[in-house]
C-alpha cells in the first residue's frame, strides 16, 4: 500500500494533532493523546500523527487512487485549524 509522509514545523504540533483527531473522532474510531494519534479512515486507509516538539509528523497509508485525495483533505483540515499561521505541508511518497 502506498505511503506519504509530511513533517510540518509548528510550535503547536500537539494542539493540531489533537484537533485533527477530535474532529474525525465523530466519524471514525480514532485513538490519540497529546503526542500521537491514529485516524482509521477505512480498512484500506489510515492517518498516523505524532507531535515531537515543534514538528507535527503525518503518515498517510492508502490505496494509490485514494492517496492524493486524502493528502488534500488532511492538508485542508490542518490549514483550517492553523489559520493563524502559514503551514507548509509537503507530502513525500515513501519507496
Q: What residue spans define the domains of the chain? A: 3-85
Q: What is the pTM of this model?
A: 0.94
Dist. CA 41–CA 12, nearest whole Å: 24
Judge whether residue 93 has pLDDT over 80.
yes
Count Cβ neighbours within 10 Å for each residue of 31-57 and write b for 16 or more, e otherwise. Answer: ebeeebbbbbbeeebbbbbbbeeeebb
- How does pLDDT run across 26-51, given as a tens digit for each residue? 999 999 999 999 999 999 999 999 99
Could you confirm whether domain 3-85 is CATH 3.30.310.50? yes
If pLDDT is split at 50, 70 and 90, which confidence band does 61 have?
A: very high
**Alpha-carbon dihedral sign for residues 69, 71, 75, 77:** positive
Dist. CA 92–CA 72, nearest whole Å: 13
- Other CB atoms closer than 10 Å to residue 67's CB: what's the count? 19
If pLDDT is split at 50, 70 and 90, which confidence band does 83 have?
A: confident
If pLDDT is split at 50, 70 and 90, which confidence band does 1 have?
A: confident
Amino acid at each position: 500500500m502506498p505511503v506519504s509522509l509530511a513533517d510540518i514545523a509548528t510550535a503547536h504540533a500537539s494542539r493540531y494533532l489533537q484537533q485533527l483527531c477530535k474532529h474525525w473522532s465523530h466519524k471514525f474510531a480514532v485513538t490519540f493523546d497529546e503526542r500521537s494519534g491514529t485516524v482509521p479512515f477505512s480498512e484500506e486507509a489510515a492517518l498516523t500523527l505524532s507531535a515531537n516538539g515543534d514538528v507535527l509528523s503525518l503518515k498517510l497509508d492508502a490505496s494509490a487512487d485514494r492517496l492524493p485525495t486524502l493528502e488534500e483533505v488532511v492538508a485542508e483540515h490542518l490549514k483550517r485549524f492553523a489559520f493563524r499561521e502559514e503551514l507548509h505541508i509537503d507530502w513525500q511518497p515513501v519507496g
